[in-house]
Amino acid sequence: MTTTYSQVCQDIFVSKICNKREGHFLEIGTCEPIKNNNTYLLENEYNWKGILVEFDKSFEEKYKIHRKNSVYIMEDATKINYKKVLDENNFPKNMDYLQIDLEVTNKSTLDTLILLNETVFDEYKFATVTFETDIYRGDYYNTREISRKIFSDRGYILVFPDISDFDDKKKYPFEDWYIHPDLIDNDIIKKLKTDQSLNYNEAIKIINDVCMSERDLYRNFINYLKDVDINNFRTHSVFNDMLEHNGPIFVDFAKSWLSNIEELNMINKEQMIKLIDLNDQLGNPIKEKITDSIVSVPNTIKYIYFGLLNIKYLLEKCINNFTMIEIGCGYGGQCVILLELFKIFNINVDKYVLIDLEEASNLQRKYVNTLIPNNNCVFLTNENYKKHDFGEKKYLFACYSLSEFADKTRKDYYDNLINNIGSGIIIWNRETIDLPKKFIIEEEKPLTGKYNKIVYF
């Protein structure tokens, strides 16, 4: 299990459900900044930021040292203008986590929730909530019943009621865990929801079973690639979860990508159909009806659109006779499309270098070499790319992968490769862009992720 700093794994609950970097939280009743804290993991490991509310001013110096990403307010939680604080700090209306952990015996817990309900909940939603009732100590001010009605009226689903800590003899139910269905997939909520009081270990086991993290998904994907059938790999659910994606949402995306391709006016329909047919012929992919005349894997349309953006940028900057570098190359579909577009536009590429994990690189080699046998591709791994001679003139394309890397890995790519590349395009899908170069940002259209942008450098 991931390291937890919380008393009963609240940080694991939130991180697994939200499954994101750079989230936002409101933590009311912070106490210690690290130990038994529900947001330190989120801030320290996933770069979240939030508002820490704590009445005990003795913690202020610790917050300055250990919680530099967040705003802290050392005041009575029942008297804060939370809406003003959230507005002034430009927090999103759809937040990721709310904690209320105060003192039920003096009514501050309930009064603070009522204050939020009256002043904040009309505009702000929280994907996850942990609300401490301390019901094992007694039913003070009917806090549990009133709080459950408030959250229910606001649309929250109580997925884990009366979460308990325990000793060898007895459970101590003290907290309710909620999820908002507008912000978290309903299928996940249905699988998690229980009416039973569970100890936190039981709840976390259910969460781990239901909410497989991106890292877990990628681990399964890599294991799948070790013995992949090149003729059928695109039908497997593990592959589709990671790379291909199907369904109504992606059909709508594909229609928008088609519209973008038409606006670019760089290839005709016959050329586009040939590109689709080329990339969709291997691996037994799941095709969708995009228009009356086009049946394709949605992502193939995306590869054509992104491919044309790269061609347009290369032509604008008069780049020719260069090394094409792609980082995080999926199964090789983007490479196949770009190789064909280079031919259409008479762009000479000295070599096309694909960099990925070893298992993914092996699949890319099989895929590209099967569809385009006589190519100039070089398949490198994240372990050996540093030793490769890329040549003087280099151009980069990376679709999502670079921004999804751990900070240390991304910095390694910056230091060892990207700082020496003159131009390129990165499709970025996290809030903060830390590219150590001058760049221009263009909004992704259609917007397939909250923070997605097209970055030109």
* Alpha-carbon gap, residue 381 to 355, rounded angstroms: 5
Looking at the structure, do residues 308 and 412 belong to the same domain, yes or no? yes
Q: Is residue 90 packed enough to be buried (19+ CB in 10 Å), middle (13-18) or exposed (0-12)?
A: exposed
* Residue recorded with tokens 């996940």: 188
Write down how long the chain is. 457
Examine the pLDDT at 116 and tell me if it is beyond 70: yes
Q: Note whether residue 221 is domain-resident.
A: no
Task: Establish if 3 belongs to a structural domain.
Answer: no
In terms of DSSP bridges, do strands 125-132 and 94-100 run parallel, antiparallel, or are they unpaired?
parallel
Indicate the helix (H) or strand (E) that contains 355: strand 349-356
Query: What whole-number distance in Å separates Cα of residue 75 and Cα of residue 57?
Result: 8
Last residue of a domain, one of 177, 211, 245: 211
Q: Is residue 60 part of a domain?
A: yes
CA distance 294 to 183: 33
Closest among 45, 357, 87 to 219, alpha carbons compared = 357
Q: Is the domain of 67 the same as that of 157?
A: yes
Same domain, 266 and 186: no
Q: Which residues contact 237 (CB under 8 A, 6 or more apart)?
A: none
Indicate whether 144 and 47 sit together in one domain. yes
Over residues 178-206, the mean pLDDT reads: 90
> For residue 431, what pLDDT band results from cuts at 50, 70 and 90?
confident
Give the residue from 149, 184, 211 where a domain finishes.
211
Helix (H, G, I), strand (E, B) or coil at 350: strand
pLDDT at residue 240, as a whole number? 73
Predicted confidence band of residue 26 (pLDDT cuts 50, 70, 90): very high
Angle between helices 108-119 and 143-153 in degrees, nearest 10: 20
Whether the predicted pLDDT of 168 surpasses 60 = no
For residue range 405-414, what is the model confidence (pLDDT) as tens digits? 878 889 999 9
- Residue 222: inside a domain: no
In a domain, 1, yes or no: no
The label of the residue with tokens 């705003």 reads 71
Predicted confidence at residue 343, as pLDDT, reads 97
Q: Are residues 203 and 241 in the same domain?
A: no
CATH code of the domain covering residue 186: 3.40.50.150
Is 434 contained in some domain? yes
pTM above 0.85, yes or no: no
Render 29-91 in DSSP notation, one character per residue. S--SSSTT-SSHHHHHHH--EEEEE-S-GGGHHHHHHH-TTSEEE-S-GGG--HHHHHHHTT-
Residues 296 and 347 in one domain: yes
- Nearest-angstrom CA–CA distance, 209 and 16: 10
Among 153, 178, 211, the domain boundary falls at 211
Q: Residue 135 sits in which domain range? A: 10-211
Backbone angles phi, psi at 276, to 5 degrees: -60, -50
pLDDT for residue 1: 44
What is the average pLDDT score of the chain? Answer: 92
pLDDT digits (tens, 9 = 90+) for 312-354: 999 999 999 999 999 999 999 999 999 999 999 999 999 999 9
Question: Residue 214: is its pLDDT beyond 60?
Answer: no
Query: Is the residue at 102 inside a domain?
Result: yes
Pair 421, 306 in one domain = yes
Cβ neighbours around 23 below 10 Å, total: 24
Q: Tell me how far CA of residue 413 lies from CA of 46, 158, 400, 402, in angstroms.
A: 20, 43, 14, 8
Give the residue-averaged pLDDT of 211-215.
Answer: 60
- pLDDT tens for 231-275 read 999 987 777 767 887 777 788 899 999 999 999 999 999 999 999
Do 253 and 149 fall within a single domain? no
- 305 belongs to a structural domain: yes
Together in a domain, 233 and 85 = no
Q: Average pLDDT, stretch 435-439? A: 94
Asked if 60 and 125 sit in the same domain, the reply is yes
Q: pLDDT, tens digit, for every residue of 370-399?
A: 999 999 999 999 889 999 999 999 999 999
Within 13 A of 129's CA, how many CA atoms are on the CB side?
A: 29
Same domain flag for 245 and 197: no
203 shares its domain with 243: no
Q: How many domains does the chain have?
A: 2
